[in-house]
Chains A and B, each alone.
Chain A
Amino acid sequence: MTVAQHMLAQNWDDIRLKLYSKTSQQVRAALASPRPTWEDFLALISPAGEPYLETLALKAKKITRQRFGNTVSLFVPLYLSNLCANECTYCGFTMSNRIKRTKLDKQAVANEVAAIKAMGFDSVLLVTGEHETKAGMAYFREILPAITPHFSFVAMEVQPLDTCDYRALKQLGVNSVLVYQETYHPQRYGHYHLRGNKQDFSYRLDTPDRLGKAGMKKIGLGALLGLSDWRTDSAFTALHSERIQNTYWQSRVSVSFPRIRPCSGGGIDAVSAITDKQLVQLICAYRVFLPDAELSLSTRESPWFRDNVVPLAITTMSAASQTQPGGYSEPSAALAQFSTEDTRSVTEVTQAITQSGLEVVWRDWLPGFGCEV
């Protein structure tokens, strides 16, 4: 049974009910457990867990420092394209949105790489809209050689691909791939995704399995918080992450917590908005449940929030992000995917991290012996 099949066998309503009926006694048991289980995770993110935030945060902080030391890694997103062949009602890139569409050519990519390197980054996240024909494998093969030699770590957030394509990306120097399920609620997923290949819920759900089979070093998971009940979606994400980590044990798991942000075209209001306080609860619960996972926080969150939450549980964060293609070498080119909250420069972010007693890690990883199959 693949992990995706196991996930499909889970019942949303059952998990939701279980989660919302957790008691404060179960929360205390979860906080006391030396090896918290997924059931404990449910208790920690439940409404009953809210009053225990400080205990949870202290526990998360202790685990994070113990496991990762006093460090946090910085990366920067590089938007390659905002072309998209999907209709997703919450996203600024959605195909019916009449924004200027663009795709960086090799020269434009080189300019962006130079601008990013000048900022000091050595870890990059490549982002495109999901457009199989115009920004698919042919395009990646064309531009990756202009990118991967310049960074010690290259992650990608693009449409789901087949296992053989992931193997090819690995050969081309990609170390990590992030594909978010958006929501694990199949019907709601259908409501949000009106056209395009992204409508295929199961294929997307199977993506982490394909990445694992391809031997991708890091596999990113996440739900877009607010599309459905955020607690239940997080329960699914956590279970999915744990299973992927256990099954494809030579890969690492990375979890993100994007909240719905305003975007061009308006976007949508969250069905289930998650407050700042609840987001801290969620992030800390992830750390307690998955001590080794990479937890990542983007510039969607405010400087104040990031400065305070990063020392508790975050291992990787972006900084000085531009979410429109060409944004680093040629600011305000096309419209952005979403608006960022933390618009500080790299220097400002670095200073804030240092002030909180952490060291910024630019290069966390060096290529191994290059003999992998």
Chain B
Amino acid sequence: MLTIANTTFRSRLLTGTGKFSRPDIMQAAIEASESQLVTLALKRVNNTAKQADPTLTILRSLPVTLLPNTSGAANVDEAIYAARLARELLGTSWLKLEIHPDQRYLLPDPIETLKAAEVLVKEGFHVLPYCSADPVLCRRLQDAGCAAVMPLGAPIGSNQGLRTIDFLRIIIEQATVPVIVDAGIGKPSDACAAMELGADAVLVNTAIATARDPANMAYAFARAVACGRQAFLAGTASQRSTADASSPITDFLGALS
């Protein structure tokens, strides 16, 4: 069971709702993923089109916890504004904090993110910050009271896989809050590798939404995440260790009582 902010989840696969071709395909994919934490984004209402985006209505009908994000925010003030709007709208304290002023790679701004996290934690939000795979930053976010950290595997939507694996390993080793690998996971084997490494969960959006058959891909991701977790818990198989026949310390060790 995955526990974030004293809430437990059976599924360790978080999903996003962007980039699907149709709402019904999105719904089928989320259901197939068995995901229990699903992200969505804030947007100003467009007054020309009176029909509402059906995403929220669909998600409310599913057994999932909604995780609003602050995408679109480029600095602390915008992120805090977005967070408060999301809380007012949903009546939830869950928040995926993301601040990316860079529009090309959508890489998170570590300084603004930390500042915003400090404020939002004090306001009672369960803050899950999307961040660079920087071990010190993750510790600072953890110290600020974040409910989890969400380091990236590669740029959002790039499907490049775990490019940051060596740093993810350090982050996982050091974390006292759940580590959710976000962004860049392109295929189920990437998700599986992250889980084998000891990540507590992964967040996948593009790789599912843009697959030829999103619902089937979501199912495959669910299996891969469960499989990676199982492998992590089972521990990697030991290589056969051979003792050196004799070494400079043999005499000393032999003389010990």
Give bound CA distance, A312 to B238, whole Å.
24
Q: Are A312 and B256 in contact (CB under 8 A)?
A: no
Segment with Cβ contacts to A, from B21-29, B33-41, B241-249: B241-249
Segment with Cβ contacts to B, from A47-55, A133-141, A188-196, A340-348: A47-55
Contacts of B237 in A (CB 8 A): 29
Contact among A28, A246, A276, A280 with B241 in the assembled complex (CB-CB below 8 Å): A28
Contacts of A61 in B (CB 8 A): 249
Q: Which residue of B lies closest to A39 (CB)?
A: B235
Q: Are A57 and B249 in contact (CB under 8 A)?
A: yes
A332 interfacial by beta-carbon distance below 8 Å: no
1/0 per residue, CB under 8 A from B, across A32-76: the answer is: 110100000000000000001111011001000000000000000
Q: List 12 A-B contacts (CB under 8 A).
A: A28-B240, A28-B241, A29-B235, A29-B238, A32-B241, A53-B253, A55-B244, A58-B244, A58-B247, A58-B249, A246-B175, A308-B249
Output the residue of B176, B239, B241, B243 with the most chain A CB within 10 A: B241
Give bound CA distance, A31 to B240, whole Å.
9
Give bound CA distance, A53 to B247, whole Å.
12
Q: Are A276 and B256 in contact (CB under 8 A)?
A: yes
Q: Are B256 and A28 in contact (CB under 8 A)?
A: no
Q: Which residue of B lies closest to A31 (CB)?
A: B241
Which secondary structure dominates chain A's binding surface? helix
Within 8 A of A (CB), among B209-254: 235-241, 243-244, 247, 249-250, 252-253
A247 interfacial by beta-carbon distance below 8 Å: yes
B178 to chain A, nearest CB (A): 14
Give bound CA distance, A311 to B180, whole Å.
40
Which secondary structure dominates chain B's binding surface? loop
A238 to chain B, nearest CB (A): 15
A interface residues, how many (CB within 8 angstroms) = 24
Q: Are A280 and B174 in contact (CB under 8 A)?
A: no
B165 to chain A, nearest CB (A): 13
Give bound CA distance, A28 to B173, whole Å.
22
Contact among A57, A58, A277, A312 with B257 in the assembled complex (CB-CB below 8 Å): A277
Q: Are A312 and B249 in contact (CB under 8 A)?
A: yes
Q: Are B256 and A275 in contact (CB under 8 A)?
A: yes
B243 to chain A, nearest CB (A): 4
Q: Are A54 and B244 in contact (CB under 8 A)?
A: yes
Q: Given A28-B238, A249-B139, A312-B249, are A35 and B173 neighbors across the interface (CB < 8 Å)?
A: yes
A247 to chain B, nearest CB (A): 6
Contact among B238, B239, B240, B250 with A54 in the assembled complex (CB-CB below 8 Å): B250
Contacts of B240 in A (CB 8 A): 28, 32
Contacts of A57 in B (CB 8 A): 249, 253
Give bound CA distance, A276 to B256, whole Å.
6
Q: Are A247 and B249 in contact (CB under 8 A)?
A: no
Q: Are B244 and A249 in contact (CB under 8 A)?
A: no
Give bound CA distance, A226 to B198, whole Å.
36
18 additional A-B pairs beyond A29-B237, A249-B174, beta carbons within 8 Å, are A28-B240, A32-B240, A33-B236, A53-B253, A54-B247, A54-B249, A54-B250, A55-B244, A57-B253, A58-B243, A58-B249, A246-B174, A246-B175, A249-B139, A276-B257, A277-B256, A277-B257, A308-B252
